[in-house]
Every structure is written in C-alpha cells, then in structure tokens.
Structure 1
C-alpha cells in the first residue's frame, strides 16, 4: 500500500503489526550463499547439537532483512530510510519459527534541512511465542507538509 504521510502527521507511540513470515531452511541456505556466512551455527545441525541452542539458528542479518521487509507492507512516498541504530538480536530464531514485526513511532526531531524531519521507528520482531527476537531503531527522513 502506498501512502503520503508527512512529518507533522506522525503520532508518537502509534504502532502497527505486520503479517507473519515463517523462516525456512531454504532462507538460511540462500542467505549463507549470498552473504558468505557459512558459520556452523547456521549450517551444521550435528555441531549445533553440542551447543547451547541445540539446533541450527537463522543468521541475525537474515532476521533483520526479513523483519524490515515485513514492514514494507506500507510504503510512504514522502519518506526514505536514513539509517538503523541500536540493532540487537535478543533470542535465536530457528527453522520453522514464524516472525512478525511491530513498528512504533518512538521519536520525532528536526533535521538540518528544514524541509525534512526525522522520525524514529522502534522495530521489534517477535516469534510465534511472542518472544522478542530482534529490536532496532529505523530512522526515517520525512518531508514536511509545510516547507
């Protein structure tokens, strides 16, 4: 869905939750090939049985990619990504886990270019048990309605 939501129209603490997405073995294998990250935590089930998590876990960068991708259900035509901050992977994600993201407007601030404002979205990714698996801040550069 495409929208035009200007800086002035963002409301602090408003939030939305995305649909879910199940993480598959194919996701992990493809991500390993694309990123070059073939660490045994992701690729070697037998080795993982000797480790605290006991099973292969998804790459943190894969969970970040899927989590952010889930938020793209809504595309704001007057905003663009300015960056990400405070990225943390708080719990492992396993093959077969279903994740969804909650996006909450955490802060608004002026920008050095007066025609824009900065909006900080807190992006939280949860598994099917409602356990937090990833959190970060997504910074948006958003056009002002009144320039």
Structure 2
C-alpha cells in the first residue's frame, strides 16, 4: 500500500466490502480501532468519499448502538442516474462536486472518457476561473449537459 494515505486505505476497505454487499453498517469507533486512527478520520472519509455525487447514500444513527450505513445508489437505467445527478445540482455547484458527478457518469458508463474530459473542461477553473459567479455558471452548464445526455 505504498503511497496511500490512511483515508485512501479506509476508502478502499469500505468499497471492497460494498462490492460484495448491497450496503454496510459500520461503527465509527470499531473502524477507527481497526485502522488505529481517530473516529474523526472515519467521518472525513465518509463525508468526502461516499457522497451522493459519487454514487452513495449515507445514513447514520448516533448514540449507544449507533451506526453508519453506506449504500451504493441503485441504478436502474441511465435516465435514473442522470435524474439523480440533476437533483444534486444546486444553484451553486463547486468544482469538486461537479467533478464527482462527471466521474460518477464515467464509472457508470454513461459517458466516455473523452466526453467526461470535455464536460470537465467546460466547467473547470481554466474555463470559469475569472468569473465572479463561477459556481452558478457551473451549475447551469452542468445541468444543461446532463439534460442533453438524458435525451440523446
């Protein structure tokens, strides 16, 4: 596991389990003990690596007997995935959220690598960097691209 940080290792572990199961329920403290890290490290991994934009739903219950449930979004067809991604776009979308949405489309084979690259080029800092309301413009552009993908 050379060149991997703890967050990458924890993410890989959880994704490996998710390949075999529909969902997983974990205890933050148990996973932290297993990887000899603080529970906040587990929170960081879940909050940044298992987002709806990346194709996951996370539920949690705090307190005694609490758990974190991670589920991979079930994709029935391309239109459902595209609709789910459109629903995630807010009036302002950060570059990292937009990139995660495009990556999810690529992983689910909705777009090719070339199409994903073109989509990213239209919304990245090189294209929108000097615009004051770049996150708003990014939302409009990404939303329009997703609608076109749905009806191609």
**TM-score, length of structure 2 as denominator length:** 0.25
Indicate the structure with greater strand content.
Answer: 1
- TM-score between the two structures when normalised by the length of structure 1: 0.25
Judging by fraction of residues, say which structure has more helix. Answer: 2
Relative contact order (alpha carbons < 8 A, sep ≥ 6): 1 or 2 greater? 1
